[in-house]
Each structure stands twice: as C-alpha cells, then as structure tokens.
Structure 1
Amino acid sequence: MAISATEKPLGKVFTSDYRFTIPSFQRAYIWQPANVLQLIGDLEEASKSADVPYFLGSLILVHDGGTRYEVIDGQQRLVSLSIIIAALRDLEEDAEWMRLLDALIVEPGDKLRGIRNEPRLTLRERDAAFFREYVQEGNLEALFDMTDEDWSSTAQRNVARNTRAAYDALSVMGDDERHAFASYLVNGVTLVIVTTDDLDGAHRIFDVMNMRGLPLTPSDVFKARATSGLKPALVDAYAARWDDIMDPLGDDPRQSEEFFSYLYLILAHKPDTGKLIDDFLNEVLQPYLAAGTITSFIDRVLAPYAMAWRMLEHPGDTVLSEGVRDRIEALNDYRNHEWKPVAMWALVNSFRKLGEPGMSPFVRRGSHASRTTVTEASLGLHDAQRLEELFAALERVTGVDTLNRTGSLERRGHATAAIRDLDKGYPVRLVRGLSISADDRAGALVRLHGELQGDEELARLLLIRANEQAANGRLARPRKLSALPIMPLEIGESASFAHWSQETHDYWMYRLGNMTLVQGGADQLDKMAEYDRRRERILMRADSRRFPLTRELADFAECTPAMMRHRQEETVRLIAEYWDIRYDENHSDLTSSDSIERLVESTDAASSVSRGSRRVTIAQVVKAGLLIPGETLVWERPRKGERYVATVTENGRFRLEDGSEYASPPAAARAAGGSKVGLDVWKRTSNGQKLSDVWKAYRLKAN
C-alpha cells in the first residue's frame, strides 16, 4: 500500500491534477447553513492577514487511475468550498474574474489537448446531476427559485440552502472585499492531500487520524509550556490541576482553539493574528513564566475563565439568576460566538470565587441534591444588577449585529472595545462595543420590516424573541420548532386567497407578518393551499399554541392583507421592545409605518439591506424594465414535439395560450408541461435569452 501526503493551497487542489468522486457508500452531504457561514466567517477574518495560511485539514483519497480520486474523508469541505466559489462567481461582473472562478470548479476543457469540460468534483450518483447543473455550471437563479417540493434528496436541500446562505453572506461584501476573499481562498487556504491506492488502507488512515492519532490541541501546547516553568515539586500537581480545569471542556481541537482565542482577546485586548499559539505563548504565558508566577495564571486566570466557558455552554444547570440564565440561553441561539469573550469577562469579574476548587456553580441533582449547593452569594457575587444589565446589552448588540449581517471581524472589534472599557470600570451604558448607533438601529428595523426569504433560522430566532416579549418571559421550546408561512407559496386557485392580488401576496410572502412558530418539521404545510386547513394544522398541537403570536391565529377566521399588516407591525414592535430599539433619542416611535418609510428612504439604512438570494418575482422584473408586458416567452421540447408559449402581462404574470395566468415561472411551467424549474425552460422569443439570465441581471442590479 503506497501512501503519500503533501500540503497544497486550494488553487493547486482544484486543478486538472485531481478529479474527485464521492463513492456511493459515503454518507450524503450534511453540512447546514451555520457550518458554511462559519467557514466563510473564518476565511473572511483570516483573509485580513493574507500572508498567514489557513489550514483546512486533510483530504483522504484513493487513487483510481489517472487523475481520478475517490474521496474517503473531506466531502463536506469540498462540496462547501465549491458552493462558496460558485456564489463568488455568480456575484461577479468582471468577465476575467468569472472565468478564473469558474475554472476552479469546472475543468474548462481543451479540444486541442483532448480535455473534456467536466466538473472537478462529482457527488454521489443521486445528487451528482443536480449539483453539476445548478451549482457547478452556474444556474443559481434556478436554484434560488426552487421550493422544498423540488428537492429529491436531503443532500439537494442542503446544497440549495447552503448556496443561498453563502450567496447572502458574500453579497454584502464590496467588490474589492470579495476579490481579496477569493484570492485568499485560492492562495491562502491549504489542505493536506493524503493518497493511497488501496481502499482498505484509506479507511485505516482515516481511523488512525480521527480516532487514535488525535492532533495536539492548543491546551496541550500551552500546558507543556506552562509546566516547563515550574519547580519539579509542583509539576505533577499543576499538570493535574490543568487537566482538572480543561478536561470538562472536552478534547475537540476546534473548541479548544476557540476558548483560547477568546481568552487571548480578553487578556491582550485584541484578537489573535491567526497565529494563536505564537500569540498566546508570547503575549500571555511568557510574562507569567518570566515572573515565575505561572501558578497564578493557572489558578486565577485559566480556572475561572474555563469555568465561565462551561457556564455559558450549560446555563440552565447553574445557580445563576433566572434573568442571566435566560439571556445566556438567548445568546446561544446565535450561530456566531463573538459574544462569548464579553460574557466570560462578565462572569469572571462578577464572581470572586469562580474556578476555586470545590466551588462549582452547577446545581447538584439526583442523589447529590441534598448536599450543600453553592449559591451565587457563596461564589462571591457582587453587583448582580450590573451583571444583568451587561448580559441584556450583550444580547441586544448581538441581535442587532445578526440582523445587520455584521462581519466577524467587526463583531470581534465590538467585543474587544467592550472589554477594554469594562476593564476601565465604565458603566454598561457607556461601554463601546455594547452600544447601538442610530445607523445600526435603523438598519435593524428596516431588515425586520423587509423580506427574510432564505434565512429560516433567522426568522425562527426573531419570532422566538417576539413571542417571549409578548409572554413577558422565556418560553419552553419543543424539540423541533419551525417558522412556517401562514400563506402558501402559490395562491393559484385557492378560494381562501381569491381576493388577493398577486402583488400583495408576493409582498407579504417572506415577511415576518406571514411567519409563525409551529411545533414539528418545515414541510408539514406544503400540500395545503387553503387558509383554514393551514390554520388548523398550525394550531393542532399544544406546543405550538404556547406561543402567543401563533395562538393569535385562532382569532382570525380569514387571512387578509389587514391581518398581515397587523401581525407585521405587532411582531416588529415586540422585537424592537425586546432589544430596546423602538424609540430614538427624541422618543419617536421608529416602528410606526411613517418612521419605517423614512428609514427605508435614508441612504445608510437602505444600503445595509441587500436582496441576496431572495426569490425574484415576475412583477419585480417587469417593474425593473427587464421584461416587457406583451412580449412572449417560449418553452420548446423538440424531442417530444411540444412547444409552449407564455405572454408577460401588465400585472406581472405569465399567461398561457389557454388564458390561465401564473405568478411564477415554475407555476407556469408546471401547468404547461409538468416541469418544476421554470427558469430553466422559458426563453424570450425576441433573442433566446434564458429567464435565469434575466433574473440574475435583476438580482445584481438590486444588490
């Protein structure tokens, strides 16, 4: 069994030297939007230090002849990287950049050299054609126009949702930022390529690397350096002390790195430069080693901050007050973790005895419940009110940053500024990094009133905040909780919505007023078109009815635009009250209709909102002048001898030859010939232009 291993930048991996195939026995693509967004955030931050490489782990491959390799380990990263590159390509308007990005995921082909145009990565047979057609070959508009009914596998759903998430995250960058990001992706991101010609050997390598040959964590490195500065009599005791402190945090290298990265930020008042081990050793540990006080670091710094980390992971099991527990639980709802250093600082600086041996802040349960339990008072809590104020301000700024899609670098800047001011003893209201500017507040309110298509996770979080504000306290959540639309995606011939105009339906479809929290999965309403059936299903379970804004649907026998307007205004008002952003410095209510219109018109607020991957409608394209009322579109199927014609109407619909009208290309395509993906089949008769190209032109213009 021949084995080779070499480290290469991504630009040398996505070349004609490798054609990757995911074998059929591999699991499906399972990464979620949070995973892709975390990767983009990490890479965006790393790209600020372009000379520092970002190691993305190893690929384990089986050589299958020529340039063909089966992927044994690395599928999730390769697929996700391809998605990110595809999104970068679709957002690009410069032809040369588009060509270079395209070449990373699709072999350009060369007739002279006999090289075929082929994707560099082929998924499992069930998903390969889908991934090639919509992601690798650049048909993102058709992908964005799909609904949950259009996926034939969970992997396809994950690909679609992750592509939306990547596109949205990258669309808020300027052209120069995206170019710097793309350049770093190609040149600064490295992978170790481990290859063998034997499948069993590849599995043994995978087993060794992932089960027995675990890499050293930052904790391992820092422990070795710290104990090297101790007198022999203390080495064993403090090595054991270090293990007692760090073992409860687990042995996940990523989590260990995150903990020490945030601890570095707290102590150095700046984020690490991408060289965490060097930065921490030189700027944190070395002064203690030089002074001979490393035991003080372990007892008075490492121990309390590690305990604070554990409390943030499991706040419900601690003796913290209900208010603080609720805020930490709320902070854990966010996919980004830049709030953690401030939260760690708050706990360590509020409890004098945190981290001391025998002083656990966790509640004892079961057979140990009768024993003496540590209380907030015995942990040395001081200024409980300030602690609650600090966590409220931290959750508020985290929520507003999430709404405004603030980048990871800026979020870390907020945390750094906050800790600097907290170390100076500033009151919470004067702490930079925990304050909300007028522009931040305006941007958040505009986003709350706008469309949230493609970000179900954010919609769910916002609805939880609104419902808990309405209930005046935290609500127990069922194991599976979804944010579902009250109206169906297509109103068609539905009697419930016969009086609705398509424009009004499209306006409300992806806004918070049309969303409600429901116990269960996201697909439970898919086949229901009538409002009464959808409402009945939504209210069927008691776990759904515990949410006030869901329960409120029982009071509306009919779904009307007035109901949508009422729910929208109520939901936005509740969220604004929760985060204390409802009023400006002149005590004007910013959630009123007039105020929102003024905010939308303001340059700063409007520029903070991007269309991203939100679904484009025919009416929007007509209004933008990219389709002309009266012009015709054709769908030809030569092999079947079929030809369908649609006419663009004044009110932004497609009218088929039988006189029926449809509000979306897929609806018209399904009615005409059974196709699910309308943007792929309809073309303008005037110039043969595909609708996907028209939709892309609109999206780039809107962004």
Structure 2
Amino acid sequence: MSATNFNTKNDTLRKLLGNGLTYRIPRFQRDYSWGEDEWDDLWQDILGTIAVGGEPAHYMGYLVLQSADDRVFDVIDGQQRLTTLSIIVLAALKNLQRLIDEDKDPDRTQQRFNQLRQTYIGYLDPVTLVPRSKLTLNRNNDNYYQTYLVPLAEHLPQRRIRASEHSLRKAFEWFDRHVRDYVKANPSEDVGRIIAQLIESMSDRLFFTVITVTDELNAYKVFETLNARGVRLSATDLLKNYLFSVLHRQREHEHELKNLEDRWENMVGRLGSESLPDFLRMHWNSRNAFVRQSELFKVIRGQVDTREQVFELLRGMDEDVDLYLALTSPEGSQWPPAWRDHASKLRMFSVRQPFPLLMAAKRRLTDPEFEILLRACVMISFRYNVIGGLHTGDQERVYHSVAQRIANGTLTTSASVLDALKSIYPADEAFRAAFADKFIKTTASRNKKIVRYILCALEKQASGQDFEFESASYNLEHILPQNPVAGWETFTDEELDAFVYRLGNMALMETGRNREVGNADYTAKKAAYAVSTFSLTHKVAEENEDWTPSRIEARQRALANIATCVWRVAQLA
C-alpha cells in the first residue's frame, strides 16, 4: 500500500471535528446498535479523564476513514463511537437549551450553545449559507438523527420507527440524564460553564488512531493488516458496502437495494460476520480462478462491478451456503448420517482445503458420487494432513484445480475426480512409514480426540468391534505414563520425551481400570490390559513381557499396517 493511498496519525476528537471536516456513515453501513453497556463504559471513560487526578488522555482505538479530498470522510470503522460522541454533545446542548429557556444567564449560555454546536455538530456553509451537519448517518438512521436529534426536538418519536432509531433515542435520553446528574454532582453558580467544560475536556482528552485511505481496496488492506494484529474489524461490512455501492452508482431502485440487503443480512445471520469472508473465498474458489484471502476483496472489486454481477454473486452464494454450513457445523445439518460423520471428521482434523472441490461436486454430481468424494476427502486428509503433515499450499492448489474442472464440466464422475486427486493421496508405503513414526501430543484436547478416533478405527479393523470414540466409558491410556513414577527407570529422560506420545504407546482402556492402574509400572498395567475388552489393548499384554522403546516401535509398525487398510481409497491405492 503506497504512502499516497494511506495515512495514519493520532487525533483528538477536537481535531477530528474541527476545520470544516465532515463525516459520512456509508449509506449501507450497519445501523446504530450500541446499548446501555457500551454507553456506560464510554461515559465512565470520559468521567475518568476529567476527574481531578484522572488520566490525562483516553485512547478510543482505531478509526478507519476513506476520503478522496481530505475534507469529506466516509467512516469505514468507528461509526458507533462517532455517533455516540455526537449524541453526548447533543445531550449537553439540550441541557444548555434548558438553561436558556429558564432564563439562566441566557446571553453567555447562548454563546456557549452556538459555539459548541458549530464546533461539534454543524456549521454554516460560507458559500451557500446552508447549515450542514458534520456527521451523516446511514440510510436507516440519518433521517431520525437530522430531523429530531440534531434540532433538539422537544418530542422524540417512539412509534413506527426502526429498532436502531429507538436505540438513537434511548442513547440521547440516557446521556441527557447523565449530563444532568453530572451537573448536580458538580454544583456551581455557572452551570453553563460546567456543561461546556465537560464537552471541551472530552474533546481534548479522547483520541483515536486515525487511518485514512483513498478507496475501498486500500480500506480492505487496512482491515487485513489490523485483523492480523488482533484488532477485530469487520471485513464483512466492507464487502457489503462495496456491493451496495455498485448498485447505488447505477441508480438502482430502492426495492433492489432492499432485496440485496435482506439477502445479505440473512446470509450473515446464518454464517456469522466472522465466517462470511472465509465462506466467500471457498465459494469463489469453487467457481473461479484461485484467490488467497488477502486478495479476495481486490479480485471481487475487479470482477464484480455491475448490478448483474452483484446479483449473480448473491445467487451463487445462496446456492453454496448450505453446504458450507453442513461442512462447518455438521451436527445442525439435514444431511444423511454418513455425510455428517464424514464432515465431522474433516472438522476434527481442522481441514478445509477440500471445501471448494466439495462445493463444485455438490452442484454438478449426483448425491451418491458426492458421498464417494466426501469420504475420499476424509481419507486423503487423514493421510496427507493428520499423519503426513505435508504442505497444505500444494494440496490446496490441487483441490482448486480439480474444483475448476468439475465446475466447467471437464470432470463429470467421481472416478474422474479421484483420478485427478492422485497427486495428494500419499501412497501406502509413504503413509505406512509416516504412521510408524507418528507422535501426537495429547495434552491438547483436539489431539486427544483424534488419537481416540484413530484407536477406535484400528480396533474395529482388528476385531470387528465398533466403539464410539467420544464415549465416556473408556479413556485414552498411555502405557508409558505421561508422568511416570517408580518402575520406569529403564527409560532415559530423552526416551521419555520421545516415546510417551508415540501412537504405539497409546491404547484404549475401560474408565474404571484406567483409574486403577494410573501411573503404575508395566507389570501392574499388564495385568489390567490382559482382561481388557479391547482386542488391541489385550494384545499389548499378550505380546509384550516388558515395555521398552523397541516394543513401542514394533507395536506402532503393526498398527501402521492396520491403518493402511483403514484409511484407504481403493481407486487411488
């Protein structure tokens, strides 16, 4: 991002609102949504800065603005804070207006009233002599703000208004009361001065890190950068605003804008704001050239710039959203049990690379063929990601390439798709070798769940017994304990670290027996294993007089042979 398209500085509220600058909430930015918790937090922060001995300044966070002329700024992030600060000033003006109406030092109070209004709320245009507000809200909120709040209307409408307009009214009334309470808590003969000093102190001591960009693309890059640093901003809102701006530029009818808004909000409601950019990338990559998350907005901005393209994008997203939700939250889907089981395994593996391929396959292939591919993705993911730990970038490119060939009709059967995936299916020999050396540190709950799954699948292959791997009736047993005591002196410290989390050192154990043996020596544990209902656990006692590094390695090699049969795609073998 070049310096000419990006500027950052720290500014107080006074500097932001001075010098004839104006701020606009983009027409289709989200509505005002703050409530009493946020109002009270901000109010306490303000009081903390103006109290005797209080902090000299209070940091208000990032404010992301977009401007082509450095005089009129679109508020990309920070609208809730700016709107609320404006309401606080209006509440103070309302209190000054009451003093004037009550004829309390009316001349000086009027001067203060006029100065505060001109500085923070609006000014008289020197050319047209038309009053102009410094802040313009979005299309759903601006009429209420300009018609009732800015003029300090005596009666604020409460019926037949939007929920966000109720929030604006309640915010004004809340701060109006708290300004009055502040005045009572700081008695003075010059009440107008107390109110004016409250606003002046607030404007001097609240400061923002202001990031100004010249267009939507640079704004999106700012969002990516700040999110990478842990600052939570909404790329979803930015994407939405861009799509609405396309329609707005082409002067489309209000009903089309409303249709787009309803469909977008429904999608965000189902996905969640944080998940939508990820879904959008998966959707895009299932139909178009490959794009990374950091380049997504740039690509969409370059390829979606007409009303037809906006609605085509929405239609495609509508078509794919159910599948994305079924993959990410399978327990809530209406899929058949076998499909939900496969999706649950992909989620457990934390593997998402196959999603574009699966989206394309669900659109173009039959349900039986889709199920074949869904299962194959689980097998590939287990071999490539869970056990192999291979490079996901290469894998992602293959999945995307195959997704494109499905989307354009080049691959029309599950057999042809599987054949195209051969390069990311580790062959039996490579998989067997990787499994034989694999260790999985089970101090993490996700890893423990994966090891239970692995051992249950191996048990089913070895004995035919089908165990639910999340059952509470048995535990994961480390034969060489994670915290060994007496009886394990044959293992050096280095061997303890190297072997305790090897798959060959782990077994399934009935919950009661697992508690009984605890960290006991191998002789005691062996007796418990000998009566276990788990075939593979029983074999530990049957085949091993003692437990050493070489016995762990031998057992893991045996398990690797079983695993090669369990996680297999016959066509790719």
Give the TM-score, by structure 1 length. Answer: 0.41
Larger Rg computed on CA atoms: 2
